[in-house]
Structure 1
């Protein structure tokens, strides 16, 4: 018989702007979200009115019938709330980056190793149709051996000035909270690098002390390839228009962008079903803008395009029922945190190469 799907979830913490999108994705799947809690009573009430759910005490949700918990608090509180939920025998989906700093992610990884624990981290780009397309194309080996990879990421217009990206307890600003999206894709496709070199800096005249960083350039060192990731808070797009990756092989190149979903392939040799030459791909559905309605519970807008979240919640509820893991694990989120922590350390030492710390220990 197929595994049983989860039938009820609870929302713990609602301050993250993704909270209403994941709530609605759960309901779209036919899963009952029994209520929400947050330490800010004003924001909590606004959230409950927005999504039409119950304002509950934390103990009520953790002691209730919900089989899983969606943790969407401030980063510094994510792991402690996840731990309480796990101790109450709940599965947890923790919004990315999964915690405020490297030690948080190490602790979340340890929690995830406990027998029976179901822990997912909300790196929703993992479920992007463009990423799915890239994986399927690369499986055919149309570009040969890859020597160089480039990723680019950016925050949305003015987002770097928000309190959400400037929490004192977080180990970084926009690079950590938003740049981690594309860094995750790179780690997902390439694996964790051996070392990182980086510059993370403020640019005179571009922003003041209310934000933590303007631009960053990271180099990922692998035994058989080099990867770079550049990031800016000043692309001024709506959200992820410029976020993309390009892989350069000895028999072609592949480039893909997350939203709008798009891909370009140049294959010099071709493969079965792919003749030599250029091939373009676009998502076949109508594009829905990422940014949704203004939020009464967060300073940033709600999410309008729930495609990634719908897929993510489907995997989570299946995992609660015992299906094999297809989502983003705490170990992968820890690898992302290790890369970002190494980047900050390298930048503090004028771009010195910083070996990536072991995930365990």
Structure 2
């Protein structure tokens, strides 16, 4: 993201002058979301930036040029010696646990830790990390980078599900993926990872599943590289941290390091949920991510961004009337509202840092443990061609 060309703004932002600003340190800056999150924080205001540390010198040098308000430190110890309130880790998947362990073992009395999702290359490493964090830093506010949790569409879905207006829910479908070409991104093709889109993007979709319905009892899945096809024009991809999204070039189905598609069935005691992913969506990020829920009294259809929410009820229940109810979006229909998702996620984390529990839940350590256990079961099921317990 080119911050100088960022068009979003938060005109309604207010700050309690009596509250001390939150002090933020960036440890590891290899994931492209670091640029986006800095831009959102910068526009929110009410924060201080301790600075950043990045072990790749070329990346650190360029980042220091692009973000002059974010001081560069020569060692991670010196950065954490500034005693930040929140440490944000935007490393590649294999390095997130390493930097998280370094952080919790440093004596700085920070109160918040932000980890880029999915949190580790190997799910088992994250399970151990979660135990270490909870043992060494009890009460620490931890947030994983699932910003889509904070979409207004997901708020709508949570309200519908929690009011029980759909009647007996028998099935639901969740679709996710990435734009055509984006599967070539470095961050979707890390050799140490379990795989590609099922791990790197499926984690977003599974966060929605688990947030709304909890974890399944068992799963069966298919994770496939498809036969190679001739190259076609891309929607967009990110070749490195600083180039930004490139909408030129051609790639072909079947040429990714990892899977092209994934599908799976998740069994619950009272319902079945299906999930499907593709690395070759024909539209921009999140525009085709979809949630469809079917109950005996109605159905729910949601797209995270551009935000869409449609509810149909046979009879009125809870706070919803019979017939069709559509989500009133904050911005004009067909407009992305992702910056608001990032802002709301920060507000949730910083509220917990200040000792206030969020109303809409959060993306914390134990939720990510559940997400990664389902992901691990998906890959093991695809390999063994058998059902796997979660």
TM-score norm. by structure 1 comes to: 0.89
Among candidates 76, 86, 97, match of residue 118 of structure 2: 97
Residue 114 of structure 2 aligns to a residue in which SS?
strand
The count of aligned residue pairs is 341
Q: Which runs of 5+ in 1 are unaligned?
A: 291-303, 357-361
**Which residues of 2 match residues 242-281 of structure 1 at below 5 A?**
242-281=288-327
Q: Which runs of 5+ in 2 are unaligned?
A: 1-15, 230-252
Q: Deviations 1:287-329 (Å, cap 9, x if unpaired)?
A: 7976xxxxxxxxxxxxx94211111111112212222254211
**Which residues of 2 match residues 212-231 of structure 1 at below 5 A?**
212-231=258-277
- Cα pair distance change 1:269/1:289, threshold 3 Å: closer
- Cα pair distance change 1:287/1:11, threshold 3 Å: farther
Confirm whether residue 142 of structure 1 aligns to residue 177 of structure 2: no
* TM-aligned CA deviation for residue 4 of structure 1: 5.9
Q: Deviations 1:12-50 (Å, cap 9, x if unpaired)?
A: 111111111222233314111221111212222222332
Among candidates 47, 52, 65, match of residue 31 of structure 1: 47
Residue 211 of structure 1 aligns to a residue in which SS?
coil
- Cα pair distance change 1:179/1:289, threshold 3 Å: farther
Once residues 24 and 162 of structure 1 are traced to their aligned partners in structure 2, the CA distance between those partners, rounded to angstroms, is: 21
Residue 32 of structure 1 aligns to a residue in which SS?
strand
* TM-aligned CA deviation for residue 111 of structure 1: 2.7
Corresponding residue of 1:154: 177
Once residues 86 and 105 of structure 2 are traced to their aligned partners in structure 1, the CA distance between those partners, rounded to angstroms, is: 12
* TM-aligned CA deviation for residue 51 of structure 1: 2.8
Confirm whether residue 183 of structure 1 aligns to residue 206 of structure 2: yes
Once residues 113 and 25 of structure 1 are traced to their aligned partners in structure 2, the CA distance between those partners, rounded to angstroms, is: 29
* TM-aligned CA deviation for residue 132 of structure 1: 0.7
Task: Say which structure, 1 or 2, has more relative contact order (CA 8 Å, 6+ apart).
Answer: 1
* TM-aligned CA deviation for residue 214 of structure 1: 0.4
Corresponding residue of 2:356: 323
* TM-aligned CA deviation for residue 218 of structure 1: 1.0
Residue 36 of structure 2 aligns to a residue in which SS?
helix
Corresponding residue of 2:244: none
Corresponding residue of 1:67: 85
* TM-aligned CA deviation for residue 101 of structure 1: 1.4
- Cα pair distance change 1:176/1:210, threshold 3 Å: same
Confirm whether residue 126 of structure 1 aligns to residue 149 of structure 2: yes
Q: Is the 8 A contact 1:6 1:318 kept in 2?
A: no
Once residues 38 and 20 of structure 2 are traced to their aligned partners in structure 1, the CA distance between those partners, rounded to angstroms, is: 17
TM-score norm. by structure 2 comes to: 0.83
Confirm whether residue 16 of structure 1 aligns to residue 21 of structure 2: no
Q: Deviations 1:202-229 (Å, cap 9, x if unpaired)?
A: 1102434542000010111111110000
Residue 139 of structure 1 aligns to a residue in which SS?
helix
**Which residues of 2 match residues 229-244 of structure 1 at below 5 A?**
229-244=275-290
Q: Is the 8 A contact 1:6 1:320 kept in 2?
A: no
Let me know the Cα RMSD of the aligned residues: 2.1
